Chains A and B, each alone.
Chain A
């Protein structure tokens, strides 16, 4: 039942993966290994820099604040796993790009993942609800107005 390093399996972006993790290996460190995101550029593409928000069993979590062993058997989706393999963006990603809201390369992917959690729970949020939801995730480089309008546009696009 107890070992200092263990093999941890989970499903990442639809793909079963397995890698060694120690008890204090974070989910962010684990994902960097299984997604082969060794460089800052690759980690940014996967959304593993900054707050490193990923979806875990359908809820957003900060990957640096969850242990890999705690995420064993979980379904994980990273920012890099949102777009289709042929590069077609989701409506939410497209809305962020069109609103000019992908401002901070470290934090913007996490804003998108956090907004995805909001839209999963509340598909028709008000502007105020979006602002409240994202408020604590906005770094100084981000622009709250652009992020809010992107989320509202994505919600409208999904409804139509």
Chain B
């Protein structure tokens, strides 16, 4: 296959125009897409660079919510003091995912567009009542995953960002494989939230069809209190979990249950959202 063209538009409207070309793919940090293009398992006729676009970078907030641009990198989230003040669990997650070089290049939009079932971003979005915005539509986080690596994003459509509701408290926890496991993703990763209204939300990565809300876990937290003990002995159903050579579905479900309890414990431990 011939080498693709490379385009570096300077504005979002220019990028959207370029993405209308047949076979055009948006390239932000390239941490998800680039390895697939290099090994030939994905193709592009044009690569449209979007990671540098100012319209897609940055974090804004109002009293209710954070807006995180699709071009925002984990390191940007982790280095933004107001995130540590209002949503420290999100900053903790961003500052711990992958390795430092991944955090310097990967983007929120790239991860959401890839929709790797073990990615932490969508799990956090589900717990944080997120709305996912593209250049033409808005989705609830629950509407995003159509299966592992499948999303409603259409060719030529660009992710703009994510609007996250600031919760009463939130915690994130993961369970990692030993080093040298060959995967940058943890075995289990759960984002736990108590909303300002007092509802519990658990976003779990590692589902067979992508990240999901663990409703039974949420019900247990609402019934018995927002505490790790409320999840004792519980785990998501194993038939909804992904499996690979590192962990089968039953083991992954068990680890997700443990990670959920750890995430709730962390939410109770870290101070967040003073003044709210």
Binding site for B on A (CB under 8 A): 1-6, 22-24, 26, 51, 53, 59-62, 65-67, 69-70, 72, 114, 117-118, 121, 132-133, 135-140
Contact = CB atoms under 8 A, between A and B. Distances in A.
B5 A4 contact: yes
A24 B46 contact: no
B53 to A, nearest CB: 13
Contacts of A62: 101, 105
Contacts of A138: 179-180
A6 B6 contact: yes
Given A66-B30, A69-B6, A61 B49 contact: no
Contacts of A66: 30, 34, 105
Given A65-B31, A70-B27, 11 more contacts: A2-B6, A24-B3, A26-B38, A51-B101, A53-B101, A61-B101, A61-B105, A62-B105, A69-B49, A114-B99, A133-B100
B2 A4 contact: yes
B105 A118 contact: no
Q: Which 5 pairs show the lowest CB-CB distances between chains A and B? A: A136-B99, A23-B6, A2-B5, A22-B3, A59-B104
A144 to B, nearest CB: 8
A135 B184 CA distance: 11
B12 to A, nearest CB: 16
A65 B36 CA distance: 11
A2 B51 CA distance: 18
Interface residues of B, number: 30
B240 interface: no
A6 B35 CA distance: 21
Interface SS, A side: mixed
A23 B105 contact: no
Nearest to A68: B6
B75 interface: yes
A139 B99 CA distance: 13
Interface string B163-180: 000000000000000011
Contacts of B98: 136
Interface of B: 2-8, 27, 30-31, 34-35, 37-38, 46-47, 49, 51, 75, 79, 96, 98-101, 104-105, 179-180, 184
B5 A23 contact: yes
Contacts of A139: 180
A5 B5 CA distance: 8
B47 A23 contact: yes
Contacts of B96: 132
A70 B49 contact: yes
Contact of B7 (A1, A5, A59, A135): A1
Contacts of B3: 4-5, 22-24
A6 B4 CA distance: 12
Contacts of B180: 138-140
A99 B53 CA distance: 43
B75 A3 contact: no
Contacts of A118: 100
A136 B105 contact: no
A135 B7 CA distance: 36
B240 to A, nearest CB: 28
Contacts of A61: 101, 104-105
A117 B6 contact: no
27 contacts: A1-B8, A2-B5, A3-B5, A4-B3, A6-B6, A23-B6, A24-B3, A51-B101, A59-B75, A59-B104, A60-B104, A62-B105, A65-B30, A65-B34, A65-B35, A65-B105, A67-B27, A67-B47, A70-B49, A114-B99, A114-B101, A121-B79, A133-B100, A136-B98, A137-B99, A137-B100, A140-B180
B227 to A, nearest CB: 27
Nearest to B7: A2
A153 B6 CA distance: 44
B101 A67 contact: no
Nearest to B21: A2
B17 to A, nearest CB: 11
Most chain A CB within a 10 A radius of its CB, from B35, B51, B96, B105: B105
